Amino acid sequence: MDTFDPAAHINDAMREEAKRNPNGWVYVITGSYGPSDGVPPEAIMGAWKVDGAGAIIDGSFVKNPKYKG
């Protein structure tokens, strides 16, 4: 059973990332990757949609079917 609750995992760093990416996405990535590293699809748990004001949209979390955690 999947017990991941995306709303419980939104933190200040993610909110700041959302502000820098209006109309974009904030991703949940597992593993250690630097800013210029390529992230394989299986390391991306999913993402939240960000609105035009740079805020994470409640209920917008989309799970990545390729994620292998």
Q: What is the rounded end-to-end Cα distance, in angstroms, of the chain?
A: 13
Reported pTM:
0.82
- Specify the pLDDT at position 37: 92
Residue 54: exposure state from Cβ atoms within 10 A (0-12, 13-18, ≥19): middle
pLDDT in tens, 7-25: 778 999 999 999 999 999 9
What stretches of the chain show up as alpha helix (H) in DSSP? 12-20
